[in-house]
Copies of this chain bind each other. A is one copy, B any other.
């Protein structure tokens, strides 16, 4: 009955199985620091997923993936354009600033957690490129699915990339919930990334059934990808027993597990969302796009639900709560919560 985050879940069974089989005491020795066959297979699997040659770097956390990717793209005197509520701005304790050596984030407002191409164009038009007093435009970072649980359409991504590229800026995609967005859009991983103009993606897996596994995937910027290896090492993000991450990713990518888990999480979110918003007085704040929802819930109702052990957190304004369904969210818990919310709201209506 915990909808606080997708991070509260453990790992999917195939991911754990892979660790047990591939990294136990009797597993064959593996060369450290990524020179092992599992890591090579993950590179191949990512190439297959994205239907092209890529340069991929497994890391363990989303913050590491984002900050290392941005450090590869943005010089210390640069700035990265992102949404005001982007994870890189609000929830990484300054990691992009640390990894870039002191670059800035320039914040852009936009409805539903999304930057519009027009807002990006307006911002870039007065960015002071070439003027020595101003930090220099260096990259655009988009989040898919967004922090608001919404999803950019392919067309929106492509339009944003066109604006960025027109100014010579590469586009980074924070894909902490990459799979959930693909599941929602019904597109391919390629369509949602390089075919839409994305240059580098933080391909997230931790939230969606791994323990600690992400991959930074470069489609372009070969030189920066080379430098990435050194940046990862000196940031302490090159694992000696790299197969620890790679085995997770291999299992996650095999047989469409990544997509299946995301579809399940999304379906659970849809059930929870539709059930709750059918209750009088509970309203969505943003259109549901993945497995994260923000709902306006009357305080007595929210208090009642939380008193009954349903866990979810206030976030984003008065009476607004965030609920997240992980890949293993329990349908029974969802039904129970909806039923309890219905009872609580019905009681309120009767009392009015």
Contacts and interface: CB of A to CB of B under 8 A. Distances in A.
Interface of A: 2, 4-5, 7-13, 16, 19-20, 22-27, 29-33, 59-65, 67-68, 75-77, 79, 90-95, 97-105, 132-136, 206-207, 209, 211-212, 227, 229-241, 243-245, 311, 326-328
How many copies of this chain does the complex contain? Answer: 4
B8 A25 contact: no
A23 B327 CA distance: 14
14 contacts: A8-B29, A11-B25, A16-B19, A16-B24, A33-B133, A60-B60, A77-B234, A91-B133, A93-B132, A93-B230, A94-B234, A97-B234, A101-B101, A135-B234
A95 B61 contact: no
Contacts of A134: 90-91, 93
Contact of A132 (B26, B33, B64, B75): B33
Contacts of A25: 9-13, 209, 327-328
Given A20-B20, A230-B77, A230-B132, A235 B98 contact: yes
Contacts of A311: 29
Contact of A212 (B20, B229, B241): B241
Most chain-B Cβ atoms within 10 A of its Cβ — which of A102, A206, A207, A328? Answer: A102
A102 B71 CA distance: 12
Given A13-B25, A20-B16, A98-B101, A240 B7 contact: yes
Please name the 8 residue pairs, one residue from A and one from B, whose CB atoms are nearest each other, closest first: A64-B236, A7-B32, A8-B29, A97-B102, A101-B101, A63-B236, A77-B230, A10-B23
A10 B247 CA distance: 12
A94 B77 contact: yes
A233 B19 contact: no
A178 to B, nearest CB: 15
Nearest to A135: B94
Given A90-B134, A236-B235, A22 B7 contact: no
Given A102-B98, A239-B212, A5 B22 contact: no
Contacts of A68: 236
Given A97-B97, A98-B235, A99-B236, 15 more contacts: A4-B31, A7-B240, A9-B25, A10-B23, A10-B241, A11-B241, A61-B238, A65-B236, A76-B231, A93-B230, A97-B103, A98-B101, A133-B233, A235-B235, A237-B237
A61 B237 contact: yes
Contacts of A26: 10, 328
Contact of A62 (B2, B11, B211, B240): B240
Nearest to A89: B104
A78 to B, nearest CB: 8
Nearest to A34: B132
Contact of A61 (B9, B90, B236, B326): B236
A131 to B, nearest CB: 9
